[in-house]
Structure 1
Amino acid sequence: MRIQLVSKCYYCELGDMKTMTHLFLTASIIQKLWKKFTFCAGIKIEGLQLQQLIIKWWKHKANNKLDQVLKAVPAVLIWELWNRRNAKRHGKEYSFTWMNHQCQMMIHQLIRLKFPWIKEVPYQWKPTLYYHLVNWKFPEEGWIECNTDGESKGNPGQSSYGFYIRNNTRELLYVEAQDIGVTTNMDA
């Protein structure tokens, strides 16, 4: 019928105009995925176009043994972003958690393919947790205490933080709590 319509992004609630940069880099959920992986590699993505990011990633110095796997990560991310776009276009749900899981799984498979002699590749990094008992004491005169907490319903999921400040007589000086959107429990 020769009706021309502006293409809309399937990632955004607002339906921003779909461009290659928006589709693979600047949409909020996509930025979140890139930041998750670029943070681990020590790469900053602010102000970069997609092509600049990929070139920066490929030029990034890494352990020689992992260099080929690291260079494949942008292709893995773009592939999963394309899969999510197509799923959303055809009415299927494809969450950020699933997309992140798929990327990690594909990178895991690349490592196993590149290094077949490695019997077990850790799928996800699991930190060693240390703890010690903390006994609360009133702050000395002239000092204050600040108690904080954050939470995430899911990881990532809807998140918030809160804190309060009291003086040495336990008088409440300030309280703040705020929703910070969808993020991880570590960010919260």
Structure 2
Amino acid sequence: MMLEARDNMEHEMWWEPRSRTANIWFYNWTKLGALYYLVPDEFVVDETVQDVKELRNQDGWNMSKLQQLFPTDIVDHIPEELDFHESTEEWDKPRWMMTTSGKFTVRSAWELLRRKFVKSDIYKSIWIPGLPFKISFFFLRLWKCKLPVGDIMRRIGSDIEGKFYCCDPKQCETVDHLFVTRKVSSQVWRYVKAAAGITTTLLQVKHVIQVWWNANFSSMFKSIIRAMPVITMWQIWKWRNTMVHGGKMTINKVIYEINLTTHQMCRVRNPRMQVPKSVPQIMQMIETYKPHIVSKIVRWNLPMPGWFKCNSEGASRGNLGPSSVAFCIRDSEGDLMHAAARIISDGSNLVAEAMALQEGIKYCVTNDLLPVNIISIVTNHFQGKQD
């Protein structure tokens, strides 16, 4: 297992050439992997050439040497992607290619090595935003039939099956009976279904979930609708455990807990809304809700006569990630004078904004597009500080 992990991880370790001592064939110095395994059979591996320094000359990469050793795609890749920093005082630096910073993390290594199963939409829906973790975890166990109810405990051969009971002492407790068809459960579902306007007869746990998740409600409250059957079954589960261990809990108490949990989740998901405290009122609010839309006009104003205006923009994906800059310049008539954009090295949003501003100013000064009005997030930030 460790040897298999080593073989997979070696391909993600890039040796940045500095002292030019990296082995050409077995080190990943091109970001493609070990070239010994990538070169086609028609290209004979010339093992007399060992170090990266043998592929360099005074002007840079020795293109004729590269063309002798490697196929065209690798030859084109090396000068385009490798920015060679020659140094006799530094060793070749290892970089971890799974992260933008080049530093090794256990998380990235785990993502590389773990065996991934096919993603299921149902498991994405189980973890509902705003719902307490313990309820989501309960629902996961319920969906996978991992709850300690009588029928499941009997199937796994447990000796504690007798501690779980059904309405009829002669029958074994089942998941569908406990959460759907039992007398107490039916009364609870009758209350929740009436609030949501659902008339379908519920038979099984997974059928309940499908009915609720396929119901036609506003997409804004989709997470709340998805959570309501889960909250209901969670409260039925609490009622059942209370009764099993000798406690008492009425149906009205179960309904009260459903109302309270639903209300609290709505407050978490929509903290600025006035949320009712009962499920019927919450469902009525969802059906009649109309969002308050605020519109704001954003316009680009012409610069003063004889002036130019430069708008610059920088962005970073992930904020410490792949970055790019862009700017455009217009005259006092609104005609486009120049526009440019390019990808820069990985960095933060603020660095990208500053570099975009710098490139815009540099172009204006170089091409005598003065006086110029600079519009950028950076200038707006400092203007706000002064104000």
Q: How big is each residue's C-alpha offset from its partner over 1:130-154, in whole Å with a ceiling of 9 and x where there is no partner?
A: xxxxxxxxxxxxxxxxxxxxxxxxx
Q: 1:104 aligns to what?
A: 259
CA distance in 2, matches of 1:48, 1:71: 18
Q: 1:34 aligns to what?
A: 189
Amino acid at match of 1:8: Y
Q: How big is each residue's C-alpha offset from its partner over 1:149-181, in whole Å with a ceiling of 9 and x where there is no partner?
A: xxxxxxxxxxxxxxxxxxxxxxxxxxxxxxxxx
Q: How big is each residue's C-alpha offset from its partner over 1:95-119, in whole Å with a ceiling of 9 and x where there is no partner?
A: 100000000000000110110112x
CA distance in 2, matches of 1:54, 1:69: 13
Q: Does 1:53 align with 2:194?
A: no
Equivalent residue in structure 2 for 1:115, among 251, 270, 273: 270
Q: Which deviates the most, 84-93 or 38-47?
A: 38-47
Query: What does residue range 140-179 of structure 1 map to in structure 2 within 5 Å?
Result: none
Q: 2:255 is paired with a residue of what secondary structure?
A: helix
Q: Which runs of 4 or more aligned residues in structure 1 lie more than 2 Å from their structure 2 counterparts after TM superposition?
A: 2-7, 14-17
Higher strand share: 1
Q: 1:65 aligns to what?
A: 220
Q: 1:170 aligns to what?
A: none
Amino acid at match of 2:165: K
Count of residues paired in the alignment:
121
Query: What does residue range 8-23 of structure 1 map to in structure 2 within 5 Å?
Result: 8-9=165-166, 12=167, 14-15=168-169, 16-23=171-178
Structure 2 gap segments, 5+ residues each: 1-157, 282-387
CA distance in 2, matches of 1:3, 1:112: 44
Contact 2:165 / 2:172 at 8 angstroms: preserved in 1?
Answer: yes
- How large is the Cα RMSD of the aligned pairs? 2.2
Contact 2:176 / 2:203 at 8 angstroms: preserved in 1?
Answer: no
Q: 1:108 to 1:64 in 2, by over 3 A?
A: same
Q: 1:3 to 1:111 in 2, by over 3 A?
A: closer
Contact 2:180 / 2:203 at 8 angstroms: preserved in 1?
Answer: no
Q: 2:233 aligns to what?
A: 78
Q: Which structure is higher in RCO with an 8 Å CA cutoff and minimum separation 6?
A: 1
Q: Pick the structure with greater CA Rg.
A: 2
Contact 1:35 / 1:45 at 8 angstroms: preserved in 2?
Answer: no
CA distance in 1, matches of 2:159, 2:228: 39
Q: 1:91 to 1:49 in 2, by over 3 A?
A: same
Identity %: 25
Amino acid at match of 1:44: T
Contact 1:38 / 1:44 at 8 angstroms: preserved in 2?
Answer: yes
Amino acid at match of 1:123: K
Higher helix share: 2
Contact 1:21 / 1:50 at 8 angstroms: preserved in 2?
Answer: yes
Contact 1:21 / 1:49 at 8 angstroms: preserved in 2?
Answer: yes
